[in-house]
Structure 1
Amino acid sequence: MSTEKPTAMRVYLARVRTALGDLPEAEIEEVLEDVRPHLAEIEAELGASAQVEALVERLGTPESYAAELRVAGGYPPAPKDAEVATQVPEKAPAGLLAPRIALWGMALVAVGLALMAFSAAVHIDPDALFGLLLLAPVFVASLWALLRRGIQPVLELPEVIGLRNALRKWREGSGERAAGYLRSLKPAWWVICAVVLVLFGLLLMVRHTTAAALLPFLVVAAAAVVWAGPRALEDRRLMWLVVPVSAFVVGGIVGGFGAAVSRISPNNGAYYSDATSYAASRTDNYGNQQLRFGDEELRNVYAFDASGKPLENVYLYDDQGRPLAITRYGCEQDTGTTMRRDADNRFPRPKIVEGVQDSRGNVNGYNSTRAYCREESGVPFVAAIPKPPTSTPPQSGPETSSTPAPPTQPAPPTR
């Protein structure tokens, strides 16, 4: 008789087998053969002295892991007694604060990323992504709580259990076909996310040269989601990466679709919306109205007198006395980028020229790495002022009078 102590992987697999006990033996063996290499890999990472608790921290309880395997394989849910076993934790959690910080922090980051990506895609402007700086502390706190307590306390939260039960009932009811369709799309979704992230970064860089610094981060996120996506079912901690990235991609896709519809819509011209200021069909990222000509946003207006001389400090109003006030931009010399200054109706404005330069000051060269920005005054074009038509002088001739001549007196008779 062997006295060898069973390893953590064997104990974990034994409990998974028990949780799948209502399935045919051949299908149980097939499922276990699929997951055994991954469990062995995790056990090797944890070391020879790994305990079952360490596997539970990585994957959740064997019963909950078995329930996820059922969903992934399209098997029926566990019987009621097994279902109860998956919902009752082995021991009472030490506290719910850290797991809830991990869960709701990740949810808040995902929602915030979706909204920022939507705004950036609609306006094709990377400034909408500055909110990432606000979400970074939330994500760090969520990740810290996850790594400190592990994934199992999160899976045992009442809201998580309720969500899993709701999804199970939905799959058993009207959502069976939809759930199967979504499972079939899962392998391709991670590739779609990577492609969208890279294309999104390239589009922003084409429209705004300052977005070049954002592209490497999007490329790294694309590679990370392709790697972590297929592994998230086995290591639930990777959900803290794939869920926010997926939310960002969904927001970008929806925003890009909205931008495309807005550009091809025939009713996207300017209109007046209130009695105090000029309004366009859309506002910019700072909440100020846009001045538009057709479907193009105008950031500058040049005025000339009749002789073709450009006019300075011209204030524009509409026919109701409302100022045509739009956002004024300028250069931030420290960063070499464009920044908002204020909003007014004074024109013309300096032309903003952006680019990159190298350490010697060469602009837009091969080795250029630093962003630069400068403001150019004056008119960047020559205006052709139409001449008024010359009037033709009237032709000279005898004047005629419309007043009838007085009657002439008859001549006296002659003798």
Structure 2
Amino acid sequence: MSDKPTAVRVYLARVRTALADLPDGEIEEILEDVRPHLVELEAELGEGARVEALIERLGSPESYAAELRASGGYPAPGEGATQVVAPTAAPSLVKPRIAFWGLVLCALALALLAFGAAVTVDPDVLIGLLLFAPVFLVSLVLLLRGGVEPVLALPEVGWLRTTMAKGREQEDTGKVLRYLRSLKPAWWVLCAVALLAFGLLFMLRHRDAVLLLPFLILAAAGGLWAGPRVGADRRLLWVAVPVSAFVIGGALGGFGAVMDLFARGSSPSGSSPYYSSSADHYGNDQLTYGGREVENVYAFDADGKPLTEVYLYDEEGRPITLTRYACEYSTGGTRKIGEDNRFPRPKIEQGVTDDQGNYNGYNGYRGACREIAGVPFSAAIPKVTVAATPSATTTSPPTAATPTR
């Protein structure tokens, strides 16, 4: 590969010199924006094109730099020199830094909350945005009052932009970045579609999420409007960055939720685990108490007598249905025989038998299983006494409710 500078490199070097009074990050971004156009023009002029040919088409690099200044709203070289040579005092970086890091913090919060909401399909997770809304408002107010130039002049912002500019100069990285830049229009359309999809998905699962839909529509419209204009007005980053962060976080969360559904062998329309976050190998919910799985439930009356044929329901009338198992005597294992909410169930013990066929849970050779009916323990029910009130003069015996079947 020849080390001789091309016409584009020579032309851009002179443009860089004409813009030398601007911050380094700004210069790199301006040159990156115009470089693809110059490369195309050089290819159109043919191999071996000289810098003079570019000057004939575009004018001198200095006049071209002046046009770039005017289009970007930058001060003329004389004005910039006056401001730099005779500053009255070093500008404070506190407010610009709050504006910048407020944007970064809110973008990260949006991404994480969107991720959590997508994983759980629960819009209530987004209530956490209220904690970061004041931070974003302070950042936005400082930006509008001080302008975007002090923010772009921050050392951390300059380092970031310089690093990105160096990445563009590398052949492989530059190709990837240029390709991603070419996808910007499609990205904002994708963001709008994703935001609307989030809103509709939340509404299908939670009707109250209809209150969230107007905000998502507003965010989608804001992304479509602000995204393509960020290059001309950097203040619009305070719209484009939060929208992009929310969409990226929600997309990653949705992908994780789908992978989890496939891993568990269930679907979004399946029953939700009201009492457990896991399911058995038949895909049925598991009942847990204190973090431990409960396989059986025993009920007693006030006298400590065990009850049979008890059917369990939750507060909304939904049956607490669990998988029912029985012994598979041919293999010594267990098998599924159904699903119901009837308790108690026979206790299943798996062990082995010895050569004489005697059951032994610890020693032996052949697998075995047995079902133990009844209640394996007794319960002492505490007696509840009700103190008589002083104003009560007569009492009536309690009326026993007759259960219906």
Q: How many residues align?
A: 251
CA distance in 2, matches of 1:62, 1:250: 31
Percent identity between the aligned chains?
44
Q: Which residue of 1 aligns with 2:98?
A: 101
Instruction: Measure, in 2, the Cα distance between the counterparts of 1:293 and 1:213.
Output: 36
- Deviations along 1:180-228, whole A, 9 cap, x unmatched? 1111111111101000000011011101111111011001100111001
Matched with 2:373 is none
Mapping for residues 4-403 of structure 1, pairs under 5 Å: 22-23=11-12, 67-75=28-36, 90=84, 91=87, 93-173=90-170, 174-265=172-263, 290-292=277-279, 322=292, 348-351=313-316
Alignment check: 8 A CA contact 2:25 2:161 kept:
no
Distance 1:66 1:295 in 2: 63
1:10-50 deviation per Cα after TM superposition (whole angstroms, max 9, x unaligned)? xxxxxxxxxx993499x99xxxxxxxxxxxxxxxxxxxxxx
Give the Cα separation in 2 of the matches to 1:188 and 1:143: 27
CA offsets per residue over residues 130-153 of structure 1, 9 Å max, x none? 110001011011111111211010
Q: Deviations over 1:66-85 (max 9, x none)?
A: 6433223335899xxx9xx9
Q: Which amino acid aligns with 1:349?
A: D
Going from structure 1 to structure 2, the CA distance change for 1:265 and 1:162 (only over 3 Å counts) comes to: same
Deviates more, 1:89-98 or 1:147-156: 89-98
TM-score, normalised with respect to structure 2: 0.53
Counterpart of 2:242 in structure 1: which amino acid?
Answer: P
- 1:36 maps to none
| d(CA) in 2 for partners of 1:62, 1:219 | 37
Deviation at 1:61, TM superposition (A): 5.7
The alpha-carbon distance between structure 1 residues 223 and 385, as it changes in their structure 2 partners (threshold 3 A), is same
Check conservation: 2:28, 2:165, Cα contact below 8 A: no
115 and 23 in structure 1: CA distance in 2 versus 1, 3 angstrom threshold? same
Partner of 1:310: none
Counterparts of 2:23 and 2:126, CA distance in 1? 40
- 1:150/1:61 Cα in 2 relative to 1: closer, same or farther (>3 Å)? farther
Over 3 Å counting, the alpha-carbon distance change for 1:219 and 1:297 in structure 2 is farther
Change (3 A) 1:295 1:64: farther
Cα displacement (A) at 1:265: 1.8
| Alpha-carbon spacing, 1:134–1:233, altered in 2? closer, same or farther (3 Å) | same
In 2, the alpha carbon distance for the partners of 1:348 and 1:190 equals 48
What value does the CA root-mean-square deviation take over the aligned residues? 4.5
TM-score calculated relative to the size of structure 1: 0.51
Map Cα deviations across residues 88-132 of structure 1 (whole Å, 9 max, x no partner): 983565201100000000000000000111111111111211110
Q: Residues 74 and 188 (structure 1 numbering): CA distance in 2 closer, same or farther, change over 3 Å? A: farther
Deviations 1:237-266 (A, max 9, x none): 000110011011001111111111111125
Indicate if the aligned counterparts of 2:117 and 2:123 stay in contact, CA closer than 8 A. yes
For 2:209 and 2:285, the matched residues in 1 are separated by 21
What letter corresponds to residue 191 of structure 2 in structure 1? C
Say if 2:192 and 2:221, in contact at 8 Å, map to a contact too. yes
Name stretches of at least 5 consecutive residues in structure 1 with no aligned partner. 1-19, 29-59, 269-281, 302-315, 325-346, 352-376, 389-415
